[in-house]
Amino acid sequence: MQDDPRNSGYPQHLGHSQWQLGDALIALGRRQEAEQAFHSALQVFASAVTNFPTVAFLRQEHGFSAWQLAGALEGSSRLDAAEAEYRHAIALHQKAQADFPKQTVFTERLGAIQMRLVQLLRRQGRLAEAAAMIHEVGTNANAGTLNELAWQLATDPDPTLRNGAMAVILAERAVTGANQTNAIIMDTLAAAYAENGQFTNAVRVQQEAIALLRNEQQKKDYASRLKLYEAGIPCRNPDSSAQQATALLANGKCAEAEPLARACLAIREKQIPDDWRTFNARSLLGGSLLGQKKHAEAEPLLLAAYEGMKQREARIPTNGRPRLKETLQRLVQLYETTDRPDQAAEWKQKLVEFEKAATDR
């Protein structure tokens, strides 16, 4: 029978249903419940691996469940728990890699999970540990993982987290692995050259990357970076600052979040002024000011952030929708804190409508 626990297909379906539930709960902003769903999936596959130790696919799903749980914990800013689960996922993949050497998926995923741990360590300021893992990842990583590492090292807004020379090494290896036909990886190599002060190479490679593109919007995006390199200016990725600022705000560290949010906003206003992420950066800065009771400065930023994201709501991906909810929550807090009940009630109603729409979606 299909639902017989003695059949390895039974835990597969049960575990996958828990994944889907966890993904849906994250989209709704119900992160604690999502963590529980991913933990349930992890338990299901752990039991399945015990019962069916020779089924490689179950080992694959077991490791992936640990990876999903780690990501959910990190999204909730439970960084210590996330680190432990990333290390658990790495250990599961390393064991599976040894037991099933012909299954390349374990090697490919291992590099990606190690990359997530590198990013987490960097967020925590544990740079020596992150650097050691970068060398470990770079030894066996595929082109995609090498590309992600190189991009972080080349474009992070925090100068202590950048390393142009290492970025060039990793990006050149990624380009070789992709046979110089992947525009995204060529884009990263150009950024790495720029960070390393090799602007002539950066311009040449960026032009090659643009020539590989067919999408006009992508061409505009890449061309904006080409202009930077032609002017002798390296590229900066604001996503890292946004992630760090979000984590700090979730932990009530508003003063620490403010400079990161300002840096993120400054970069995004230059690079992608009409993108929803630029308006989210305004929300992050407004939230950091709100937490410091700088209400007069926070209010226009939060109002502009909401209006900008609302106008671009259709373009916000599923994993970005919680940012709009956070902006609504900050506006409610602003007007409650400043004793303006009418405005607070108005924004509370908008928040209720947003949550209802998310549930119905």
In contact, 133 and 122? CB cutoff 8 Å: no
Q: What percent of the chain has pLDDT over 70?
A: 96
Note the pLDDT of residue 329: 96
In contact, 120 and 82? CB cutoff 8 Å: yes
Weakest-pLDDT range from 162-171, 237-246, 343-352: 237-246
Note the pLDDT of residue 2: 39
Does position 327 have pLDDT exceeding 60, yes or no?
A: yes
Residue ranges and CATH numbers for the domains of the chain are 1-141 (1.25.40.10), 161-237 (1.25.40), 239-360 (1.25.40.10)
Instruction: Give the tokens for residue 204.
Output: 């040449």
Average pLDDT (335-360) is: 91
pTM of the model: 0.61
**Residue 281 Cα distances to 235, 286, 298, 324, 327, angstroms:** 18, 8, 12, 11, 10
Average pLDDT (158-167) is: 84
Measured CA to CA, the distance from residue 100 to residue 96 in angstroms comes to: 6
Average pLDDT (66-90) is: 91
Quick: pLDDT tens for 129-155: 887 887 777 666 778 888 888 998 899
